[in-house]
Amino acid sequence: MQHPANHIFEFTPETLASWCEDRGMPGFRAKQILEWVYQKGAASPELMTNLSRRDRELLQAEMTFLSGDTVRQQLATDGTQKLLVQWRPYGGASSGSLSLPVLGADGVPAGEALDSKRQTECVMIPTEDRKTACISSQVGCPVGCRFCASGMGGLDGNLSTGRIVEQVWRLGQLKDVGRISNIVFMGMGEPLSNFKNVTGAIRIITALWGLGISARKVTISTVGLPQAITKLAEEFELPVTLALSLHAPNDYIRRKLIPWAEYTTIDELLKACQKWFEKTGREITLEYTLLRDVNDQPKHAQELAAIAKTIRANVNLIRYNEVDGTEFERPRNTDVLEFQKILRSHNLNVHIRASRGRDIAAACGQLRHEAQHA
């Protein structure tokens, strides 16, 4: 069984009005349907009581509302919630999306076991002043960072625009979440290698008729593709935040940690980031995961300071969350604090990211990895 190719989370008011009119519905139905989905959280035509029975039946037959199933949900002691979603098939899906099995009532695809190659993760991270949705852009990851669970099995496919938006919608429906304020593309995948679908999703996420989240509250985290960063600056009109996953103070260490670093240099990345700043006026965030005795020593902090001072940037230090099957360890607290102290001595804006959801494997790719090896 396949679900309809039309996915509600890929439609705009204009394209949905056209779709409605082609099927004999009045064009204003589009506004009503989108209000039900985005404002009222309805994911079933049966709930749309101001639509005629015929229109509801037509929507049910020809439109996919939710294209995946939550096969695992976890709640951390700090309030972080994580979903493991397995995507179902819908006929005629757009290029780059996945063809996935239908789940049975027991949560297992008909005729086969759950397959981690068909799953992605998304996380809700609440604090006192914000509700952040961390979402995935791909199934797996092509980058293969040595310390990250997401890329251990390589890339299995791009998520479509609708499935990226659907993750945010799903997180927004969790109990006691309330309104999502921030979006970070820091889940599974390299967002800029799925450029079209990611930017398409951001337009829907930030639209007033959609999820209505400010573009300034959306962060795209990239391992660093200079041409894609330049393209984002030149072609994408929304003022999102760009975060560069640097993770090393020099090319030698970076290439040991990140296979894709063989194709570019830190200097080339910094030049692309400078162009981003000149074009957008938006400061760069340099993300730096601290790995014990690998990149967390004072000499590394001095090197990183020299890099960070060449562009308008702030630095986000991340304590490593251990992943089974890797050789890396979480840094010592004393080393983390000393690292921060050195960077601040160079007048850099630097923060240590709070570790969230460690008791539920909340780092990107961990839940899928653990489910795969359970």
Q: Catalytic positions, please? A: 121, 364
End-to-end alpha carbon distance in the chain: 29
Q: Which amino acid is at 202?
A: I
Parallel, antiparallel or unpaired: strands 155-158 and 138-140: antiparallel
CB contact set of 15 (below 8 Å; sequence gap of 6+): none
> Residue ranges of the alpha helices (H) in the chain?
13-22, 29-34, 53-62, 161-172, 195-206, 226-235, 251-257, 266-280, 298-308, 333-345, 366-372
The span from the CA of 136 to the CA of 170, in Å, is: 13
CA 326 to chain centroid: 23
Question: CA distances (Å), 276 to each of 31, 226, 283, 312, 313, in order?
Answer: 36, 10, 9, 10, 11
Q: b or e along 102-129 (b: 16 or more beta carbons within 10 Å of the residue's beta carbon)?
A: ebeeeeebeeeebebebbbbbbbbbeee
The span from the CA of 218 to the CA of 128, in Å, is: 18
Decide: 49 and 348 in contact? Cβ < 8 Å.
Answer: no
